[in-house]
Amino acid sequence: MSRTATTPRVALITGAARRVGKAIARELHQAGLCVAIHHHRSGVEAAALAEELESLRADSTLLVCADLLDAAARDELVPTVLRRWQRLDILVNNAARFYPVVLETLREADYREMLGVNLEAPLWLSSSAAPALRRARGCILNLTDIYARRPLPGYAIYCTTKAGLTGLTRALARELGPEIRVNAVAPGVVLWPEQRSEQERAELLTRVPMGRAGEPADIARAVRFLALEADYITGQVLTVDGGRELYC
């Protein structure tokens, strides 16, 4: 499919209304793409982002609301994008659940929620998007985490799902190549979880050689690089953590 002024490239970004997802949507939009902004409970923020981007370029956004734990709603995401633009070039699996779970009080609901959003949704969305991405010779970007390799105490389920997403990234890169590239970005400390105290934040930054927490824009630029400039990179995880992994 040719890329002309009348058929701009299209990206679907899950969890795009807030935080890192919002920065990714802005970054890809700035690069000239149309963006499908997926959200679930953040409708107000998603609408504000769409209004912002539409003011810069008309008819360049699409709001898609879906609970990624609802198979029927999830499976309509890609078809909805294709009905609007008849193409899909980039799938960014950004949406995630992140919260601590004490192993001794583990509930199946916690496991199902994090597994469903963090790992199963990227798998099913990748499957749904594959035909369109193959036609466009597009790519898939997964947002993993440095804790996929260095598990964080108290977050066993979360770390397991992100480790699984890392494995899925490599498996899909092998299965979907050469037409579709599949890579991942592994953020370190990017925006502080609300439960972190000031003392915990300061202590953690002593183990970040760059001396600061990351910004959503740091992750968005990495996504843009892998999506638009790295035509010979697939099956890789780009760590964006200010050097955090250098420490135990």
Q: Is the Cβ–Cβ distance between 181 and 134 less than 8 Å? A: no
Q: Is the dihedral of CA 143, 27, 53, 57 positive or negative?
A: negative
Q: Is the Cβ–Cβ distance between 162 and 145 less than 8 Å? A: yes
Model pLDDT for residues 119-159, shown as the tens digit of each residue: 999 999 999 999 999 999 999 999 999 999 989 889 999 99
Give the pLDDT score at 18: 96
Q: 190: which strand partners?
A: 214
C-alpha span between 122 and 27 (Å, rounded): 21
Q: Kindly tell me if the per-residue pLDDT of 96 is higher than 90.
A: yes
The verdict on whether 158 is a catalytic residue reads yes
Model pLDDT for residues 159-208, shown as the tens digit of each residue: 999 999 999 999 999 999 999 999 999 999 887 666 667 777 788 888 88
C-alpha span between 143 and 162 (Å, rounded): 8
Given 99, 147, 158, 247, the catalytic residue: 158
Which ranges constitute the DSSP H helices of 57-155? 71-74, 77-85, 108-115, 121-136
Give the pLDDT score at 81: 98
- pTM beyond 0.85: yes
C-alpha span between 77 and 238 (Å, rounded): 26
Give the pLDDT score at 243: 87
Q: Which amino acid is at 234?
A: T
Domain map (residue ranges) of the chain: 10-240
Q: Is the Cβ–Cβ distance between 141 and 220 less than 8 Å? A: no
* Full strand arrangement of the beta sheet holding 61-65: 61-65, 34-39, 10-13, 90-93, 139-143, 181-187, 237-240
* Banded pLDDT at 4 (limits 50, 70, 90): very low
Q: Report the top-level CATH class of 10-240.
A: alpha beta
